[in-house]
């Protein structure tokens, strides 16, 4: 190992695989007779097994939360600025777990994995999965690892929804929950953006009803468009103006449909990059899981009633420029918890970067998380 590992890094990590043979009944009506999850861990589980923290990932995230890989030193975990020795989620104190969700495309059972029943790739036949299903599968992983109760479950965006759902599905198994840049359910506008993304994929001629693997192609154009529209919603108007403004690649109008404005270049680049590594079926499944999430639904829309089961201490964080999941949506969660006399703190971080702010190491944000994690007794 000649490569320098930066200070406060968990260093080189290796994904692990857990097998499950007890059938998992899914909310959408399907069943997975057997499945596997890919996960990573950082830090050491203490003798009392009381210091485990589960980090839930968002739409395009994975189990690779922190550190790098020996064979891919530049592949740094998506929340590496948060997790590590001396970082806000300190791996000297906590045993941190990242899991690739069911239906994901980073190695856990999902559309791009073999269906044991047929011996072929699942493709579009992989069943619909929900946030609740993910939590259920994560709980089974915790069982395998001997973790009865998490010190904390944390996540941003869709990951925050999983963290919230943990507090509702397994109140006795989670001490603290951090819900960051999330919402208690999607708005019609959120669903609309997801639907545009899905239509881009579904109408790509190379989608082949989701069985594109068999045709040796990928619906790259659809996936690219989906990412482009998604990406717009992750940034703020201000941050786009700041970063790109109306800057022209050639310094003048060329009156063509080639890249002219820098923002076009950026979106195309992001879209192409994403289409190169992400799976279209996973994108479809995951956006549907987002759309379906609504714990208050079975309580007639009453979020106070829905959150009554939660016993964990909560931290809710939003970002001032996040219009995808605006601060107002986070406040709904906060007030519902308060009305149930649950312990909850809420911060609205002034950050220009929109929804993506939750991935940044903005000083106030990370100080807040440090303070919150510091108070958790393990």
Partner 1 sequence: MTAYRYDYDVITQWIEPGEKVLDLGCGDGELLRHLMEVRQVQGYGVENDPDKLLGSVRNGVNVIQMDLEKGLVGLEDGFFDHVIMSLSLQAMHNTQGILREMLRVGREAVVSFPNFGYWRHRQSILNGRMPVSESLPHQWFNTPNVRFFTIADFDALCEINGIAVRERLAFDEGKLVLEEPNFLASVAVYRLGLER
Residue from 346, 351, 356, 358 binding partner 1 (CB under 8 A) = 346
**β-pairing verdict for 150-156 and 120-121:** unpaired
Q: How many residues line the site for partner 1 (CB under 8 A)?
A: 23
CB of 304 to partner 1, least distance (A): 8
In the complex, minimum distance from the CB of residue 123 to partner 1, in angstroms, rounded to a whole number: 45
DSSP-derived letter for residue 141 is: H
Judge whether 68 and 76 are in contact, CB under 8 Å: yes
Q: Which is nearer to partner 1, 265 or 320 (CB)?
A: 320
Smaller CB distance to partner 1: residue 132 or 322? 322
Question: How many Cβ atoms sit within 10 Å of the Cβ of residue 158?
Answer: 27
Q: Which is nearer to partner 1, 141 or 337 (CB)?
A: 337
Choose, from 80, 133, 204, 322, the residue flagged as catalytic. 322
The alpha carbon of residue 294 and the mean position of all alpha carbons in its chain are separated, in whole angstroms, by: 17
Q: Which is nearer to partner 1, 88 or 219 (CB)?
A: 88
157 catalytic? Reply is yes
CA distance linking residue 197 with residue 111, whole number of Å: 18
Residues from 285 through 344 that contact partner 1 (CB under 8 A): 315, 331-332, 334-335, 338-339, 341, 343-344
Write down the least CB distance from residue 333 to partner 1, Å: 11
Q: Are 174 and 167 in contact (CB under 8 A)?
A: yes
The Cα 4–Cα 365 span in angstroms is: 28
The yes-or-no answer on residue 165 being catalytic is no
User: Can you tell me which of 52, 347, 351, 359 binds partner 1, judged by CB under 8 A?
Assistant: 347
Identified catalytic residue from 236, 355, 356, 357: 355
Q: Of residues 353-372, which lie at the interface with partner 1 (CB under 8 A)?
A: 364, 367-368, 371-372
Cα–Cα distance measured from residue 150 to residue 175, given in angstroms and rounded to the nearest whole number: 6
Beta strands in 65-132 (DSSP E): 83-84, 89-90, 95-99, 114-115, 120-121
Contact indicator for 256, 188 with CB cutoff of 8 Å: no
Residue 355 contacts residue 323 (beta carbons within 8 Å): yes
Residue 113 is given by DSSP the state S
206 binds partner 1 (CB under 8 A): no
Least distance between partner 1 and beta carbon 360 (Å): 16
Query: Is 64 among the catalytic positions?
Result: no
CB of 81 to partner 1, least distance (A): 18
Structure tokens at 65: 């939360």
Catalytic residue chosen out of the listed positions 62, 157, 165, 357? 157
Query: Quick one: 270 or 370, whose CB is closer to partner 1?
Result: 370
What gap in Å lies between CA 189 and CA 164, rounded to an integer?
Answer: 22
Half-sphere exposure of 288 (CA within 13 A, CB side): 17
Nearer residue to partner 1 within complex by CB, 264 or 304: 304
Least distance in Å: CB of 367 to partner 1? 6
> Which residue ranges make up the site for partner 1 (CB under 8 A)?
315, 331-332, 334-335, 338-339, 341, 343-350, 364, 367-368, 371-372, 374-375
**Active site amino acids:** 157, 322, 355
């Amino acid at each position: 190992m000649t490569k320098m590992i930066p200070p406060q890094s968990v260093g080189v990590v290796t994904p692990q695989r857990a097998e499950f043979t007890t059938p998992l009944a899914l909310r959408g009506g399907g069943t997975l007779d057997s499945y596997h999850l890919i996960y990573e861990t950082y830090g050491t589980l203490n003798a009392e097994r009381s210091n485990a923290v589960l980090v839930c990932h968002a739409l395009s995230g994975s189990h690779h939360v922190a550190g790098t890989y020996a064979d891919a030193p530049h592949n740094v975990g998506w929340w590496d600025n948060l997790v590590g020795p001396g970082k806000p989620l300190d791996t000297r104190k906590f045993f941190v777990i990242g899991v690739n969700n069911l239906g994901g495309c980073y190695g856990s059972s999902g559309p791009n994995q073999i269906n044991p029943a047929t011996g072929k790739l699942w493709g579009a036949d992989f069943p619909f999965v929900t946030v609740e299903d993910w939590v259920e599968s994560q709980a089974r992983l915790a069982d395998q690892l001997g973790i009865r109760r998490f010190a904390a479950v944390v996540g941003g965006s869709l990951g925050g929804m999983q963290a919230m759902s943990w507090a509702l599905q397994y109140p006795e198994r989670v001490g603290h929950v951090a819900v960051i840049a999330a919402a208690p359910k999607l708005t019609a506008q959120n669903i609309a953006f997801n639907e545009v993304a899905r239509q881009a994929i579904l109408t790509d001629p190379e989608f082949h009803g989701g069985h594109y693997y068999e045709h040796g192609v990928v619906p790259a154009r659809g996936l690219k468009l989906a990412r482009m529209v998604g990406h717009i919603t992750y940034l703020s108007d201000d941050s786009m103006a700041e970063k790109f403004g109306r800057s022209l690649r050639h310094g003048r109008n060329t009156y063509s449909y080639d890249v002219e404005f820098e923002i076009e270049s950026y979106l195309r680049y992001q879209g192409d990059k994403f289409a190169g590594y992400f799976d279209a079926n996973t994108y479809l499944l995951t956006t549907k899981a987002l759309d379906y999430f609504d714990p208050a639904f079975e309580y007639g829309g009453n979020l106070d009633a829905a959150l009554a089961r939660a016993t964990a201490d909560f931290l809710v964080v939003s970002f001032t420029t996040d219009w995808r999941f605006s601060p107002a949506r986070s406040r709904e969660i906060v007030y519902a918890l308060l009305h149930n006399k649950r312990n909850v703190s809420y911060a609205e971080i002034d950050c220009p970067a929109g929804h993506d702010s939750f991935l940044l190491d903005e000083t106030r944000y990370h100080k807040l998380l440090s303070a919150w994690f510091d108070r958790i007794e393990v």
